[in-house]
Amino acid sequence: MWLGIWLAVAGLVLGVLLGLNIPLVLPQVYAKYLSVAALAALDSVFGGIRAAMEDQFDNTVFISGFFSNALLAAGLAFIGERLGIDLYLAAVVAFGVRLFQNLAIIRRHLFKKLK
* Helix/strand/coil (H/E/C) assignment for every residue in the chain: CHHHHHHHHHHHHHHHHHHHHCCCCCCHHHHHHHHHHHHHHHHHHHHHHHHHHCCCCCHHHHHHHHHHHHHHHHHHHHHHHHHCCCCHHHHHHHHHHHHHHHHHHHHHHHHHHHC
pTM of the predicted model, to two decimals?
0.76
Task: Please give the chain's pLDDT, 115 residues, in tens.
Answer: 567 778 888 988 998 999 889 988 888 888 888 888 889 888 998 898 899 888 898 989 989 988 998 888 888 888 988 999 888 888 899 999 999 999 999 999 888 888 7
